Structure 1
Amino acid sequence: MTWETIPQMVLSAADRFGSAEAVVDGDLRWSFVDLADRVRRAAGAFARAGVGKGDRVAVWAPNSAEWIVAAFGLVTAGGVLVPVNTRFKSEEAGDIIGRSGSKMVLVQQGFLGVEHGPGIDVPVIDLKSEFLTDADPFEVESAADDIADIIYTSGTTGRPKGVMMNHRQTLRLYAEWCDLADLREGDRYLIVNPFFHTFGYKAGLISSLIRGATILPVPVFDADRVLELVARERITMLPGPPTLYHSLLEAAGTHDLSSLRAAVTGAADIPVELIRRIREELPFTSIMTGYGLTEAGTATASRSGDTAEQIATTVGKPCDGVEIAVADDGEVLVRGYSVMQGYLDDPAATAEAIDAEGWLHTGDLGSIDDSGHLRIVGRKKDMFIVGGFNAYPAEIEGFLLEHPAVVQAAVIGVPDERLGQVGRAFVVTRTPVTEAELIEWSRDRMAGFKIPRSVRFLDALPLNATGKVQKDLLH
């Protein structure tokens, strides 16, 4: 890798890949030369608007070609990217825009019926306006250790915190990610993961430009739309959550999926049967699963040759230059070059997250097997103790999801006079099932201390803006 900064890498793609397709978004088709030109002009627009080196700018918009130009144009002008979750309401977005010190925010007016602006105290610019295109080309020299982006955590445990990463970290980690995920030059990469998230921005956009893959942004996940694009655009690379692959399996006989080659997924618990079916019933020749977090990017990944069981039940081995350990209390620790530079304006939270020896305390619980594979068993704060036994909600939820009536499940610990705590399950079902039936079904599948003692039926689980279950709202 010869680049010191993200702008160097992005702009060099014009020389490396020339007239090949870089971005396909609806009727829009740009080559790598086109994209580099647009990025330079966007940098000029930011400079003209008063954005200088180190200044922060928020992008609060769905996946699109313009998002790509705005993000890379900003860092080419020396600015720092602050992506904002598209599901946030104005007050939530305004909090992040304000605390990040962003000088302006770029939005897509009308997305999901929302007009952005009320409650925002900085200039609001529509991505689809001429702002990004109506300027002369511009470039600022940045350094490898300059902060490139501040991505906010999802906020399941309090207010989101701004994670600072520099250019060097991102380029090294996602160059390796390209190898691990089998991303190749000429691949056609349908990016379902949102750009405001580390996966969409770094494993998506940055990896595509490192390797020379065509980017096809998806603004809102819709299974039918994804299937149509896979067939029409001959998609080869399709990462996504397990639910995406369920949709592909259901559609295998009715849609042309023959172009698909590389899959990437991840979750606390993936059924082994799902991985087996992906391998046997879909055209994918490589399937990667991994573990990552905003504070360290991708920390572990499966390797070529891993079994279906290893891919499903573990999150692979550490990336190069990254160490993984498990503390005495079961918490997963991460150390290495990819760990964040800290939380923006929050030295106390930074010191709490990264100890004196450089270990990042992830808040996740896990174990490492004899072959060096990491398994995630749940969140530290979610664990509850039943009569002296540690119970991990993610594991129990995995069992419950095997019941044919259960679509979604969330488990929490509730007080119990005799055992201290016991499990309570909150489930969304597709067909009728009673509380007694689910509890009895659980008895044949898990140890007694893991069995939920009560079940609550919901129409939907409460989710935060990144789709994680808000367990503090379950009682």
Structure 2
Amino acid sequence: MEERELRPVPDWHTIPRMLRDQAARHGDVEVVVSDGATLTLSELARKASEVARALMALGVTPGDRVSVWAPNTPDWVVAAYGIWDAGAIIAPLSTRFKGIEAGAMLQRVGAKVLLVAEGFMGTSYLDMLAEVRDTLPELEHVVVLGDADPGTSRALRWDDFAAGASSISPEAAEERALSVAPDDLAEIMATSGTTGTPKGVMLHHEQLLRGYWDWSEIVTLREGDRYPIIAPFSHGFGINAGLLACVLRQATMMPIPLFVPDKLMDLIEERRISVLAGAPPMFFKILDELDGPDPRDVSSLRVAICGAAAVPPELIRRLLDRAGLDRMINAYGMMEGTVISMTRAGDPVEVIASSTGRAVPGVSVRVVDDDGKDLPPGERGEILVGGYGVMRGYWRDPERTAEAVDEDGWLHTGDIGELDEAGNLSIVDRKKEMFIVSGFNAYPAEIEGLLLQCPGVAQVAVIGVPDERQGEVGRAYVVPAPGGDVTPEGIIEWARANMSNYKVPRRVVLVDALPVNPNGKIDKPALHARAATEQG
């Protein structure tokens, strides 16, 4: 699907208006399916309004921040739309956060209400919150999601919270929802991961609707699709390309609270999954299962979305052939810039594998040198992004906002990339991932792409480690192909014969699997931590 074929986003302007229109037109469509729970669009709209009334009863006013600290569940979906109906701003917290980290983000955004899970994976979030509660003077209420018991904590049971809705009339709640303006903030998304001072990306209603309507158009997300949301709702992809996009397109979302790779094939077979989004390791898992002694049925899969700097061409070819996919899409986006570029229908395998496609409509992409000068196609520099998707800024942080978005409105992504003559954007690496070997800039993603061409190498992750003589050198963690007969020495020998000498990893470590984060991407911090404990 080319840009000219994208239908314009309907005349909604805000998420509450979008939900009401979808519920009125497609009320019987099942938009959420999870173990023991199913929600139609009309049921979601009704439950969201009840949550909005309960929040209003707690004193939530337009522009207040409400946080959600929970895994992906139907309750999370209802809570999000209820927060938006109340005119509030959702500020999600990662379930990986510990108490100090959650407290830092709650303090940063000045959250008035926190909706929290309890007991997920044996973790007491209420206990962790208790450690920092005294540092959060703006946090007035804590509500426990579902039927969990808050125990002796200063938290409301969900039933008690919901009962408060009776004090607010449906008419008052409707007036509140319809008073939300297109440029009102909808989200403040944490960007610092699980370490460091948190930053909160400010995104407003109209830009989110535009960005993820266009994303859904290119993906061809539609009614009848069954789409497991593996990325956490606390992450921009999970909440926007999942929770929001499915309601935009009447698709059925399946919230996955805890992704277990070994159960992926069961999920596809039993739930007849048609759309799947993730990083390369997840798709390698599918191929391993398909090539096993008892091939699984993945005939329901229609579209796969892979967000990665480089995707092995052979992975795409095998998925198209073995899994019978109609489309394989590579894409590039970030919290601060929403949807930036995507591959399109008709793009050859080589374009999907080596690039993240062309800028989406309404978004501009530049590649510049250290002086901010535009570089010609084929030359590498920092990626700058302009257009409607650029964030409003970092919440209560004008200094770091100015560092990220210049006076002309260009977002400085910190990513290194290059454009080809057709405008396809290739991501070489993060500036911070780059390491310098004897004065040469080495980009892990590029080296990984080269090493994947080595016979017997199925997956690889490269990091830079300190070296007394060369400053830094590469270390490669390699997953051998099934039945492959490779050795670290053999891989290094191949690299020396096929790569520039500064790109050749000093050491290769064979592993059974690469560590991944909740979004299915390679967990580079975990590899750095491992490298620090290894000799040599």
By the TM > 0.5 criterion, same fold?
yes
Show structure 1 runs of 5+ residues with no match. Answer: none
The question of 1:144 aligning with 2:182 is answered yes
* Cα distance in 2 for residues equivalent to 1:460 and 1:231: 24
Alignment partners' CA distance in 2, 1:60 and 1:428 = 35
How far residue 408 of structure 1 moved from its aligned partner, in angstroms, is 4.5
Which residue is equivalent to 2:5? Answer: none
- Does 2:3 match 1:2? no
Superposed counterparts of 1:34-45, under 5 Å:
34-45=43-54
Q: Structure 1 residues 255, 323: CA separation in 2 closer, same or farther (over 3 Å shift)?
A: same
User: Which residue matches 2:419?
Assistant: 368
* Gap change, CA 1:66 and 1:157, over 3 Å in 2: closer
Aligned residue pairs, count: 473
- Partners of 1:262 and 1:168 lie apart in 2 by 26
1:423 to 473, 490, 505: 473
- Provide the residue aligned with 1:72 in structure 2: 81
RMSD of Structure 2 on Structure 1 (CA)? 2.4
The one-letter amino acid paired with 1:119 is E
How far off its partner does 1:49 sit?
Answer: 1.5
Structure 1 residue 23 corresponds to structure 2 residue 40: no
The aligned amino acid for 1:445 is N
What is residue 274 of structure 1 aligned with on the other side? 315
Change beyond 3 A, Cα 1:165–1:14: same
Asked whether 1:393 is paired with 2:405, we answer no
- One-letter amino acid of the structure 2 residue matched with residue 414 of structure 1: P
In structure 1, the partner of 2:142 is 124
Q: Contact 2:433–2:444 at 8 Å: present in 1 too?
A: yes
Give TM-score scaled by structure 1 length: 0.93
Q: 1-side partners of 2:528 and 2:409: how far apart?
A: 30
* 1:400-438 Cα distance to aligned partner (Å, 9 max, x none): 455536755232153454xx5342305265699765444
Q: How many Å apart are 1:239 and its aligned residue?
A: 1.2
Percent identity over paired residues:
43
Residue number in structure 2 paired with 1:320: 361
Give a deviation string over 1:298-350, Cα, whole Å, max 9, x none: 10000111011110110000011100000114111101111000001110100
Q: Which moved more, 1:402-411 or 1:170-179?
A: 402-411
Tell me, in whole angstroms, the C-alpha distance in 2 between the residues paired with 1:72 and 1:400. 45
Of 226-235 and 60-69, more deviation after overlay is shown by: 226-235
CA distance in 2, matches of 1:251, 1:64: 27
Deviates more, 1:247-256 or 1:358-367: 247-256
* Alpha-carbon separation, structure 1, partners of 2:457 and 2:444: 19
33-42 or 425-434, larger mean C-alpha shift:
425-434
Q: In 2, Cα distance between the equivalents of 1:257 and 1:309?
A: 24
1:469 matched residue in structure 2: 524
1:414 aligns with 2:466: yes
Aligned to 1:278, the other structure's residue is in SS state: helix
Q: How far apart, in 1, do the equivalents of 2:510 and 2:284 lie? A: 23
Asked whether the 8 Å contact 2:478–2:508 carries over to 1, the reply is: no
Q: Aligned residue for 1:33?
A: 42
Matches within 5 A, 1:54-453: 54-117=63-126, 118-121=130-133, 122=139, 123-129=141-147, 130-131=158-159, 133-134=162-163, 135-136=165-166, 137=170, 138-139=173-174, 140=176, 141-155=179-193, 158-252=196-290, 254-329=295-370, 330-401=381-452, 404=456, 407-412=459-464, 414-417=466-469, 420-427=470-477, 429=479, 435-453=488-506
TM-score (norm 2): 0.83
* Separation (CA, whole Å) in 2 of partners of 1:371 and 1:259: 33
Aligned to 1:371, the other structure's residue is in SS state: coil
Three-state SS of the structure 1 residue aligned to 2:67 is strand
Distance (Å, rounded) in 2 between the aligned partners of 1:224 and 1:13: 35
**AA at the equivalent of 2:421:** D
Which stretch of structure 1 is more off in the superposition, 118-127 or 401-410?
A: 401-410
Greater mean deviation of Cα atoms: 212-221 or 398-407:
398-407
Q: Deviations over 1:5-62 (max 9, x none)?
A: 1111122221121112111111211211111111110111111122111110111111
Q: CA deviation at 1:399?
A: 3.3
Q: Give the secondary-structure state (helix, strand or coil) at the position aligned to 2:275.
A: coil
Equivalents in 2 of 1:216, 1:44: separation in Å? Answer: 26
Residue 250 of structure 1: SS of its match in structure 2? helix
Between 113-122 and 5-14, the greater mean CA deviation after superposition: 113-122
1:41/1:157 CA distance change after superposition, 3 Å:
closer
Structure 2 SS opposite 1:45? helix
Deviations 1:225-250 (A, max 9, x none): 33223222222111111122122223
Contact 2:340-2:385 within 8 A present in 1 as well: yes
Structure 1, 399-408 or 437-446: larger mean CA deviation: 399-408
Going from structure 1 to structure 2, the CA distance change for 1:224 and 1:71 (only over 3 Å counts) comes to same
Identify the structure with the greater helix proportion. Answer: 2
Structure 1 residues 87, 428: CA separation in 2 closer, same or farther (over 3 Å shift)? farther
- Distance, in Å, in 1 between the alignment partners of 2:477 and 2:224 is 43
Equivalent-residue separation in structure 1 for 2:268 and 2:411 (angstroms): 38
Aligned residue identity for 2:71: P
Bigger drift between 159-168 and 4-13 goes to 4-13
Letter of the 1:55 counterpart: D
Q: Which amino acid aligns with 2:314?
A: E
Q: For residues 372 and 81 of structure 1, what CA distance do their matches in structure 2 show?
A: 35
Distance 1:209 1:311 in 2: 27
How far 1:397 moved relative to its partner?
A: 2.8
Q: Distance in 2 between matches of 1:381 and 1:193?
A: 23
Aligned equivalent of 2:61: 52
Query: 455-464 vs 227-236, which deviates more?
Result: 455-464
Aligned in 2, Cα 1:296/1:15: closer, same or farther, shift over 3 Å? Answer: same
**Taking structure 1 as reference, are residues 465 and 261 closer, same or farther at Cα in structure 2, changes over 3 Å only?**
closer
Identify if the C-alpha distance between structure 1 residues 156 and 455 changes in structure 2 by more than 3 Å, giving closer, same or farther: farther
Matches of 2:213 and 2:235, distance apart in 1: 18
